[in-house]
Structure formats: C-alpha cells, structure tokens
Structure 1
C-alpha cells in the first residue's frame, strides 16, 4: 500500500508536489491570519486559552477552552476571572480578581488574584511583587466551552503525539490527489 503511494507520488512529479506544498502553506497562513485578526478584535495577544490546572474548580474545569478580551479602558473589578502572565514564567494563569487598587492621577491598576480552589491568594506566584499590574493581565474571560481543550493538554503532555499528528496531517496534504 505504501509502495503504491510512493509510485503515485513519483508519477505526479515536481509540479504536483509544489502545488500541494503551497496549499499546505496557504492553510497555515490562513490560520495565522485568523488568529492575528481575532487578537486585534479582542485586544489581547491570546484570545483563546486552555485551562491546564484545577485551581479554578468548580467554576472552570481543567480542559475548558476560554475566550478572552482585554477591555481597553474599563478597569478590572472584584470577581472578574482573568488570565495573567508573569515575565519569566512560561504558562499563563487563570484566576479570579479578589482585590483591586487604582493609583491616583494614573491609569495604573494594581490587582490581587486567587484561584477559586486555592486556600491563599497568588502573591507567592508573583515573583516578588505584592500585586499584579494591569500590563500583566492577558485578558478577561468572556466565555468558555467545556472539555474542548483536552486535545491541547494531550499534545502538551505527550510531545511525540504532537509530532505524529503533524506528520500525518502534513503527509495527508502532500499526498492528497486533487
């Protein structure tokens, strides 16, 4: 079976392979443009994130897909669920705002967060800071879809699965006969 595919691949020639490679590049660039367009529309670098831990249970479960926006001028308030990223840490954190302080004569807002399933606030996660700045906030959760993110969790937990999936998708696109 695989031998037949290779023979067909050789018979189609360079032009067909180039066309399929360009189709593959077009699919990737379209996905990237859609992501960037959504980022601009939602005013956040990451408009969609997957919850990786149980720290926000029962409100948000591990594997839920969250949709984020970043309000341009509206301050965050107590009870908002936010995603924040501390410089030097690889993974953003999804937690609820439990305290805010607005600086006088400034647009700066200081924020304290806590996971719903955690006993203590997040100061220990802030790398020496007492509060988060508004600039640390990636976005405010606007909605979610339960369990959809488990595919992403599997791909992160098992990197070989990620490479296998990319190989199957890439091979399928290159060997597709249209």
Structure 2
C-alpha cells in the first residue's frame, strides 16, 4: 500500500483526497436535504432494542418527521428525555391536553413491553411533554441500521472499516 502511495505524484494524492472529501460532503448534503424535506433536525434513527417488536425490529432504520398536526393515540414517536442519552421509539397509548397551558402530554409504551413507560420518565413524572418528541415515524427500512449497531457494539469494526475504505481510496486510480 505504501509503495503504491509513494509512486503517486502530488497531483494524484490530492485527487484521492478530494474524492474522499466529495463523498463525505455528499453524505452530509443528503442528511441535510432529508432534514429540510422532513422538517426535522434528526430525520433518521436506528431502533436499538426489541421493545417495539413486532412493529419494528432491532436494526430497523426509521424515517422521522416533525408532526404538523397534534399527535394521536397509536402514533409511533421518537422522544428524548433530558436524563437519557439515547432517544426512545415507542407508541402513544394515552393523551392528556392541558386546557390551561394548551400543551399536549403523552403516555407511551413499547409494543413488546408489559407496561407503560412511566418507569422510564423522571421520578414522579406521569406524562412526557410534546416538546420531548423528536419526530413521528413516517416509514422504515428493515435491518439497514444493523451496521450502526455493530459499529457501536464493537468499536474495532468501525476502525477496521475506515481503514479498509481509506486503503481502497488510496489504491484506486482514475
């Protein structure tokens, strides 16, 4: 590999670097385009647990949008709680509209869980606020997110994959 790199002149190395930067910029543009089209800063999430089976399985890639209309019972939402680092994908099972503040409150539950999510909420919290909702599920792609799960569970895979892609980019010639 290094012998191949030494044989390249500065122009060829610069071209390879620009190709890699173009790929990264394209991925960022696709992400931002999805964010704009779906009106959501986080338009795609991966299901990390089996709590929503059989609707969604671990590794499914979910496409989210911010709801323009009020959330309804049976909507599947992704919400982020302040004390939890990872968003949660669960179904809305009850709603409570506060007439005084005009806010909507939700009670959620994973389809595969025996009880509601009150044990996940803050201490003594009975409902989550609509402000906690990251997005409403609009569609999904089965098992595509397994790559993300494998790279998070086994960080060495991430570095090996990046190394292989880097070698491939350096060895490829136009």
After TM superposition, the score normalised by the length of structure 2 is 0.92
Report if aligned partners of 2:48, 2:58 keep a CA contact under 8 Å in 1. Answer: yes
Q: Which position in structure 1 is the counterpart of 2:37? A: 41
Q: Which position in structure 1 is the counterpart of 2:22? A: 26
Matches of 2:102 and 2:113, distance apart in 1? 30
Deviation at 1:76, TM superposition (A): 0.4
User: Which residues of 2 match residues 47-62 of structure 1 at below 5 A?
Assistant: 47-62=43-58
* 1:141 alignment partner, SS class: strand
* 2:119 alignment partner, SS class: helix
Report if aligned partners of 2:5, 2:170 keep a CA contact under 8 Å in 1. Answer: no
Aligned residues: CA RMSD: 1.5
After TM superposition, the score normalised by the length of structure 1 is 0.90
Per-residue CA deviations over 1:22-46 (Å, capped at 9, x if unaligned) read 2111210111111011012111122
Report if aligned partners of 2:43, 2:63 keep a CA contact under 8 Å in 1. Answer: yes
Matches of 1:106 and 1:31, distance apart in 2? 41
- 2:65 is aligned with 1:79: no
Structure 1 window deviating more from structure 2 (161-170 vs 42-51): it is 42-51
- 2:157 is aligned with 1:172: no
Q: How many residues align?
A: 173
Q: Which position in structure 2 is the counterpart of 1:89? A: 84
- 2:117 is aligned with 1:127: no
Deviation at 1:175, TM superposition (A): 2.4
* 1:78 alignment partner, SS class: coil
Matches of 1:31 and 1:120, distance apart in 2? 39
Deviation at 1:174, TM superposition (A): 2.4
Q: Which position in structure 2 is the counterpart of 1:109? A: 104
User: Which residues of 2 match residues 136-175 of structure 1 at below 5 A?
Assistant: 136-175=132-171
Unmatched tracts of structure 2, length 5 or more: none
* 1:10 alignment partner, SS class: helix
Deviation at 1:125, TM superposition (A): 1.0
